[in-house]
Structure 1
C-alpha cells in the first residue's frame, strides 16, 4: 500500500509542476496571440493564400487552418476545425487528408515546453510540415476513394471574423482558453503518470526494455527511452513530455536522444489522440482508419529524417 501511495504522490507532484509551470504560461501566451491574429483576419488571409498550393496535397483552406492551430496552440485545437468540416459538406477525401496531416505533425503543447530542454525547434517544424504534407497526399490520392454523392466542391475560402473586438478582450479570451487547456490536461496527465509509475513498480517496463533493447541500439537510443515511448502511444503526448522531462532531469536521456526520437513521438497519433479526433463528427470517424494509415506513413518518414539529421 505504501508503494501505491508513493507512486500517486510522486505522479501528482510531477503532473502539477508540468501543468502549472510549463504548460500554463506557454499555452496562455500562444493562444492569446493566436486569438489576436485570428480576430485581425490574418489567419484567414494566410489560409486562403496558401490554399492553392497546399490544395495539391489534398488540403482545403480549413485544413491549413487546422495545421497552424496544431503547430502553434495544441493538439486539441484542430478538433473544432474538423467538426466544422464534418458539418459543412467538405468531401471525405479532404477531411481524411486533413486528419492524417494533423495526426502526423507535432503539437505545440509538447514542442514549445520541450524546446527549453534542447528540442530543436526549426528541425521539428520542418519535419512536421514535410511529414504532414506527405501523409495528407498519400491519404487523399491513395487511401480514400471519393463517394459520388460527396460535395467535393464545397471547399470555400476561410472567412475572416466579421466583428472587430477590443484587443485586450481578445487577448483575455485567448489566455482563458489556454488556461482551460492546461488545467484540463492535469487529471489525464496525473492518471497517465500513475499508470507509468505502476508499470515501473511492477517491472513491466524492465521487461519491455529488454525486448526492445536491440531495436533501440540500432536507432542509437538508450534503454531509458522505452518508458517515454511506451507512455506516448498509450497515454498521449502530454504524458510523454512529463516522463521525458523527469528522465532528463535524472540524466538518463540527453537532448540528443530527445531529438532522435522526436520524429516518432511528438504527434497526436496515439490511442487518446485518435479517439478525440474521431469523435469530432460522424464523417470524420468514418475515415479515421484511412487517416491513421496515412499518418503512420508520415510519422515513419519524420522519424527517419530525425535519425538522419541527429
Structure 2
C-alpha cells in the first residue's frame, strides 16, 4: 500500500509540474494568438484560399480549419469542427479523409512543449502537413473510392467565421488565454492517470521485459532503448503523457535532441487509443468512418516517420 501511495504522489507531482510549467504557458499563448486570428477573420480567409487546393486531396474548407486547429491549438481543438461536419451532412468520403488527415498530423499540445527541449517545430509542422495530405488522399482515393462521390457543398467548403463584436484586442487575447488555461487544466487528470499507469508498468517491470524485445527494431532506425518507454506511453495513454515522459528523459540525457526529432515523426499525433476514442465520440457518422480513417492516418504517420528519419 505504501508503494501504491508513493506512485500516486510521484505521478501527481509530475503531472502537475508538466501541466503548470510547460503546458499551461504554451497553451495560453497559442490559444490567445489563434483566438485573435480567428476573430479578425484571418483563419476563415486562409481556409477559403487553401480550400481549392486541399479539395484535390479530398479535404473541404472545414477540413483546413481542423488542420489549423490541431497544428496550433491542441489535439482536442478540431473536435468541434469535425462535429459540425458530421451534423451538416458533409460527404462521408470527405469526412473520412479529413479525420485521417487530423489523425496523422502533429498536435500542438505535444509539439510546442517539446520545443522547449529541442524539438524542431518548423520541420515538424512541414512534415505534419505532408503526412496529413497523404493520409487524406489515400483515404479519399483508395479506401473510400466506392463510396458516394457527391460534390462538396458551399457549407462543406467554408470555415466558420467567429465575430467578437466590439471586443478590443486585449479582450480577445484574454479570452483566448483563458480558453488555453481551461484546456491545460483539463488535461491534468488524464495526464496524472497516464503517468501513474506508466509508472505502474515500470514498477511491475513490464517495460523492462518489453525494452529488450523492441530494442533491435528501434536500433535499425537509430533510436535508443530508452525510447521504448515514451513510445509505449504515447500509443497507450496519448500525446500529453508522451510529452511528460519524453521531456523527463531528454533532461536526464537518456534521449538526445536528435533522437527526439527522429522519434517525433511517429509520436506527435493523436493516432493512439485515447485520441481515437475521443474523436470517435464526436459524432455518429464520424464513428462510422473511423476505421478507414485510421488506415489512412497510419499511412500518413508512417510517411512522417520516414521523413524524420531521413531529415535527422
Q: Which of the numbers 158, 167, 170 marks the counterpart of 1:168? A: 170
Whole-Å separation in 2 of the counterparts to 1:108 and 1:47: 19
What is the root-mean-square deviation of aligned Cα atoms in Å?
1.4
Structure 2 match to 1:53: 53
Q: CA deviation at 1:151?
A: 6.9
**Residues 239 and 62 of structure 1, relative CA distance in 2, 3 Å threshold:** same
Alignment of 1:194-205 (within 5 A): 194-205=196-207
Consecutive unaligned residues in structure 1, runs of 5 or more: none
Structure 1 match to 2:15: 15
Q: Does residue 41 of the first structure (1) align with residue 34 of the second (2)?
A: no
**Residues 270 and 116 of structure 1, relative CA distance in 2, 3 Å threshold:** same
Q: Does residue 86 of the first structure (1) align with residue 81 of the second (2)?
A: no
**Residues 146 and 80 of structure 1, relative CA distance in 2, 3 Å threshold:** farther
Alignment of 1:248-287 (within 5 A): 248-287=250-289
Q: Does residue 137 of the first structure (1) align with residue 133 of the second (2)?
A: no
Q: CA deviation at 1:74?
A: 0.3
Structure 1 match to 2:195: 193
Whole-Å separation in 1 of the counterparts to 2:152 and 2:61: 13
Structure 2 match to 1:128: 128
Whole-Å separation in 2 of the counterparts to 1:162 and 1:244: 39
Q: SS in structure 1 opposite 2:220?
A: helix
Structure 2 match to 1:238: 240
**Residues 163 and 171 of structure 1, relative CA distance in 2, 3 Å threshold:** closer
Whole-Å separation in 1 of the counterparts to 2:7 and 2:220: 32
Whole-Å separation in 2 of the counterparts to 1:192 and 1:184: 14
2:72/2:108 contact within 8 Å kept: yes
1:45/1:160 contact within 8 Å kept: no
Q: CA deviation at 1:250?
A: 1.6
Runs of 4+ in 1 over 2 A off after TM superposition: 145-165
TM-score (normalizing by structure 2): 0.96
2:67/2:102 contact within 8 Å kept: yes
2:60/2:152 contact within 8 Å kept: no
TM-score (normalizing by structure 1): 0.97
Whole-Å separation in 2 of the counterparts to 1:82 and 1:159: 12
Q: CA deviation at 1:249?
A: 1.8
Q: CA deviation at 1:159?
A: 4.3
Structure 1 match to 2:98: 98
Q: CA deviation at 1:123?
A: 1.1
**Residues 225 and 172 of structure 1, relative CA distance in 2, 3 Å threshold:** same
> Deviations for 1:27-74, whole angstroms, at most 9, x for unmatched residues?
111111111111111110000000001111111000000001111000
Structure 2 match to 1:294: 296
| 127-136 vs 147-156, greater mean Cα deviation | 147-156
> Deviations for 1:172-225, whole angstroms, at most 9, x for unmatched residues?
221111111100100110011011001101110010001101101111111110
Consecutive unaligned residues in structure 2, runs of 5 or more: none
2:93/2:148 contact within 8 Å kept: no
Whole-Å separation in 2 of the counterparts to 1:285 and 1:115: 33
Q: CA deviation at 1:127?
A: 0.6
